[in-house]
A and B are shown apart, each in its own frame.
Chain A
Amino acid sequence: DAGVIQSPRHEVTEMGQEVTLRCKPISGHNSLFWYRQTMMRGLELLIYFNNNVPIDDSGMPEDRFSAKMPNASFSTLKIQPSEPRDSAVYFCASSMTSGLGAQYFGPGTRLLVL
């Protein structure tokens, strides 16, 4: 298996622009997680889905952030409008509910908002 795939790997944008991050989970995994990692705040869970349904979005910082999972093999995290404080590494992870919680992470998207 190719593992969790994220795109783009790097994104540089200007404040106010829309940013869309993409994730393809491991085939057969039914849970998907979006995390944000910064030096100051560490690794934070933004939202997670189970069977394509959002279960917990309490970590989404504000209305500028939205996430969708239209099918079992694709998810997006959108920031609109982006701000410099959104600069971070965004990770997608997937797991099997029956897998006792082990999560498999993608390589991350490094976002820089100027």
Chain B
Amino acid sequence: SQQGEEDPQALSIQEGENATMNCSYKTSINNLQWYRQNSGRGLVHLILIRSNEREKHSGRLRVTLDTSKKSSSLLITASRAADTASYFCATDVGGSEKLVFGKGTKLTVNP
């Protein structure tokens, strides 16, 4: 079964608005990662947050991690049409290099 589950499955917003996506997972992790996938392309690594971190920023991205609730959120501020993509969370398995991906949130940013 999937380790990470994103919510919502799909999100449609207007340019300039903020987009928030959530991820829940089931077992203990060492780190959680977020990836973006544009239609027809490979996944692109966005940000990694370690289990001992609570929040991390990268440009317009903000990621939070709550290990007690086994959940993470990805916030994209001041969204742009170019942010339209699917966003996936991924968690490690037993501290190995192996990652398990959720099914993703499909974000549409309307100009």
Contact = CB atoms under 8 A, between A and B. Distances in A.
A104 B45 contact: yes
Identify whether the interface residues of A are mostly helix, strand, loop, or mixed: strand
Nearest to A104: B45
A106 B42 contact: yes
B2 A42 contact: yes
Nearest to A102: B45
B31 A91 contact: no
B88 A43 contact: yes
A104 B99 CA distance: 12
B10 interface: no
A101 B33 contact: yes
Contacts of B96: 55-56
A45 B42 contact: no
A42 B103 contact: yes
A82 interface: no
B69 interface: no
Interface string A53-95: 0011000000000000000000000000000000000010101
Contacts of B103: 42
Interface of B: 2, 31, 33, 35, 41-45, 48, 50, 88, 92, 96-104
Interface of A: 4, 31, 33, 42-43, 45, 48, 50, 55-56, 91, 93, 95, 97, 100-108
